[in-house]
Amino acid sequence: MHIAEGFLPPIWCLFWFLVAIPFVVWGARNVAKIFRERPEQKLVLAVSGAFIFVLSSLHIPSVTGSSSHPTGTGLSVILYGPATTSLLSAIVLIFQALLLAHGGLTTLGANIFSMGIAGPTAGFLTFRILRFLKARLAIQVFSTAVVADLVTYVITALQLAVVYPSASGGIMGSFTTFLGIFLITQIPLAIVEGILFIIFFDYLKRSRPKLVVQILGDKM
C-alpha cells in the first residue's frame, strides 16, 4: 500500500519520517553485517529486495490517493527479519517514487512504516509463533506473507483515517471505510502472494539447501 504524493499534511509526513528513520538505520547496520560476515548471502538478499520491488510495483488503483498491491516482504522477513526488510523496503519505495511515480517522496516515511516496518514486524511475529508451534514450513511461509501484506493495509487505512476523519464517524468511521475498501482487493492478493512464496521457498530449499539451512538453522 502506497500513499501518493501530497496526500498527507507536512506535519504527518515529518512524523512518519522520524518514526521510520531509526528502523532503516538499524536495517542498514544489519545489511552491512551480513555483507561483512556472510558475503555468500548477498545474492539471496538481493533476491529478497527484488521480490519487494517487483510485487509492490504491481499496483491496482484503490481509494483516492492510494493503491493496492502485493508487498513482497515475506521472503525478507523470514530470512532476515523486519529490520533488514525496512531498509530493503525503503530502497524500493525511493526507486518507485522516482522512476514509477508510485507513492511519493513526501509520503516516503509513512509508506516505509506501513510496508517496511509494521507489516513485516507482524509477519515476523507470526513466523516466530508458528515456528514455536512446529507448524509445517509451508504454513509458516504462507501465513507470514499474508499477515505482513494485510497488516500493511490496516496501518495505511489508519494513517489515512487519522488525516481524513469522516464527518459522522470520526477517525474510527473513516478507518472502517478505508479498510473495507482495501480488503476487497487485498485479501485475494495476499493469498496469491502467500502461495507464490511457498513455491519460491520450496525452490530455494531444493536449489540452495545449504544456504537456506545456514540462514534459518533449525527454522526448517
Res 110: pLDDT: 95
> In angstroms, rounded to a whole number, what is the distance separating the alpha carbons of residues 220 and 215?
10
Q: Are 110 and 99 in contact (CB under 8 A)?
A: no
Res 90: pLDDT: 96
Q: Are 41 and 34 in contact (CB under 8 A)?
A: yes
> In angstroms, rounded to a whole number, what is the distance separating the alpha carbons of residues 69 and 102?
11
In order of their start, the domains of the chain are: 2-219 (1.10.1760.20)
Each residue's pLDDT, cut to its tens digit, for the chain (220 residues) gives 677 778 899 999 999 999 999 999 999 999 999 999 988 888 889 999 999 998 888 776 655 545 577 899 999 999 899 999 999 999 999 999 888 877 789 999 999 999 999 999 999 999 999 999 989 989 999 999 999 999 998 999 999 999 999 888 899 999 998 888 878 888 888 999 999 999 988 887 888 777 666 666 644 4
CA distances from 154 to 50, 138, 177 (A): 24, 24, 11
The single-letter code of the amino acid at 142 is F
Rounded to two decimals, the pTM is 0.88
Alpha helices (H) in 38-169, listed in sequence order: 42-56, 74-99, 108-111, 119-132, 137-163
Nearest alpha-carbon partner for 92 in 123, 115, 75, 69: 115
- Which residues fall within 8 angstroms of residue 166, CB to CB, at 6 or more apart? 173, 174, 177
Res 101: pLDDT: 74
Residue 5, class by beta-carbon neighbours within 10 Å (0-12 exposed, 13-18 middle, 19+ buried)?
middle
